[in-house]
Amino acid sequence: MTDPTIEDKVRAIIVRIAKIEAGFSPDADIFRELGVKSAAALDLLLSLEEEFNIAISDDAFGDARNVKKLVELVASLQGAAA
């Protein structure tokens, strides 16, 4: 079995935190369309940082409002940390 991709991991974290089904669009707005509220957003941020061993600034996190942008953000931060 291959390692889960960044997108797979990001999706799994969102599914767990938002308590939603996994089949959402990668372009769906995490906050407006998927229903992640402010307290859950903090959990999402901390979970992403822990899962990927990175530090995400509040501004960068706020700008990454969908799965596609979160995956790009995580990938760029992992590259910077490497």
Q: What is the pLDDT of residue 81?
A: 61
Q: Which CATH superfamily is domain 6-81 in?
A: ACP-like (1.10.1200.10)
For the chain, give every domain's residue range.
6-81
CB 47 within 8 A of CB 17: yes
**Residues 5-62 pLDDT 10s:** 999 999 999 999 999 999 999 999 999 999 999 899 999 999 999 999 999 999 999 9
- Written as six digits, the tokens of 16 are 């767990």
pTM score, whole prediction: 0.90
* Residue that has been written with the tokens 């859950």 in this structure: 40
- How far apart CA 63 and CA 44 sit, in angstroms, is 14
- Written as six digits, the tokens of 68 are 């596609």
- Written as six digits, the tokens of 7 are 């997108």
**Residues 49-76 pLDDT 10s:** 999 999 999 999 999 999 999 999 999 9
CA–CA distance from 69 to each of 2, 10, 25, 44 (Å)? 23, 11, 12, 14
